[in-house]
Amino acid sequence: MKIIKYVVSHWNIKLLIICLGWGIFGLGFLGGSTNVYAQHFIKTQYQGRQQQALVTNVNRWQVSFFTHLMQLDPLNLVFNDQVKTKFDNTEKLLTLRDQNAQEITNFYAGKYYANGVTKKKLDHVDQNLLQEKNQTIYQKQKNKLDQIRIWFDQTHDAQHFLAKTYHKFVTQPQKLNLTNVSEANAYYKLIKNKASQKKWRPKVKKMLATFKQSQQSQSRAQLAKEKAQLTALQNAPLTTSNYTPANVTIIDDLQQLDEISSKLQQAGIKAQSVLFYSSDSQTLTLVHRSGSKYVSAMRSLTVRSGSLPAGSYQIEQVITNPGDTAGVVTDKGSANFGQYYADATKLGFDTNSTSDFNQAKSVFWLQNNAALQTSLLVANNSNLGFISSATGLANNLSVSSADINSLLNNIANTSILYVD
């Protein structure tokens, strides 16, 4: 009986040793296979040979699954250090991508920028974006950030101008003129922060109401003065010197308008309304036809930079707040060259992240450049361009944010841009 027990016990020990051996072998084999698979998988989550840029759509579930398994393997029985390090770096890049997206989202308050946005915060996120090596993700987040920066800058410019104008209104209300009031109203429309709008709304309304009332009072006074002069003239003898002719202020520069009329006539342009650009004086002038001549429809605008080849252009589109799929055909071989489409995806072209329309192949997508999302699109048979607040672009006439808004408000029914 003892012999039997000894044999059984001895056999159990052997069996245990054999099972442990096979278990260790199996774990090693399984671990090696799992490590290889994890290594192969993580490579597929990066672009190109350099393995620096994560793909646009990372398999987050599988990355998270492997990361949790690695946390249960402190002795590296299944995963080696190299694979663990790669997954750690991937998690960090994903976290940074998510943080950038969330911070940019927090900057928005609908079609305004949120309270608390500062230049320091914008610069901080801008710097963090440089660590995003995926160009599609980078450009998408960069465009959204640039839109906030444009709103932020133009709001601060508007507030600076309004502060000066309102100070003048408070201290010297009699010196407030039509130009001051018109520009104050235009700058107020540039404010893209609700709290700032709320602050300036009653002040701008007060300036407008006071100026209107002042103009009405001046008109009544002027009418009374002219009536008195007419009465004096009627009652005076023929040799009277009591009548004084009314002073006449000539607002338009007649010489400049004569030159514009002459050049448009030479170019064979007879449109009722024309936007004229003088490359010599770098000014944009909107003119309306009156008989055989043209008269100005608004003050001339200063072009800060940029140029367009001389000639006549069709104003293809007044662009304000375009949708994500809005685009302009840039393929010169296309019959639709220079045309704007609210949904350019219907043309069958792939989207891209090119922010310079001059470099865009087939279609320029307006979502790629926030500064061109408030602009005039112009084109002829061989060239296309923009009038906008964007800078540093060829074939673009750059004006201030206030001026582009003022122009878009007055450009209705104008179909021709002439570049001299």
- Provide the pLDDT confidence category of residue 198 given band limits of 50, 70 and 90: very high
Q: Calculate mean pLDDT across residues 380-400.
A: 92
Residue 19 scores a pLDDT above 70: no
- What token pair was written down for 414? 């104008």
Provide CB contacts within 8 A for 266, sequence distance 6+. none
Name the residue with higher pLDDT: 414 or 243: 414
Q: Calculate mean pLDDT across residues 214-218.
A: 67
Residue 404 scores a pLDDT above 90: no
- Provide the pLDDT confidence category of residue 157 given band limits of 50, 70 and 90: confident
Q: What is the pLDDT of residue 324?
A: 86
CATH fold, domain 254-419, is L,D-transpeptidase catalytic domain-like (2.40.440)
- Provide the pLDDT confidence category of residue 2 given band limits of 50, 70 and 90: very low
Name the residue with higher pLDDT: 147 or 413: 147
Taking the domains of the chain in order of start, what are their residue ranges?
A: 2-104, 134-234, 254-419
Report the 3 state secondary structure along 127-187. Answer: HHHCCCCCHHHHHHHHHHHHHHHHHHHHHHHHHHHHHHHHHHHHHCHHHCCHHHHHHHHHH
- What token pair was written down for 32? 């090696």
Taking every pair of Cα atoms in the chain, the longest distance, rounded to a whole number of angstroms, is 160
Per-residue pLDDT tens digits for 76-98: 888 888 988 899 999 999 999 99
Name the DSSP letter for residue 175.
G
Q: What is the pLDDT of residue 142?
A: 87
User: What is the pTM for the complete model shown?
Assistant: 0.56
Rounded CA-CA distance 258/276 in Å is: 13
Name the residue with higher pLDDT: 13 or 74: 74
Share of the chain above pLDDT 90, in %: 26
- What token pair was written down for 209? 């109401």
Q: What is the pLDDT of residue 184?
A: 82
Q: What is the pLDDT of residue 147?
A: 85
Q: Calculate mean pLDDT across residues 397-404.
A: 87
Residue 351 scores a pLDDT above 70: yes
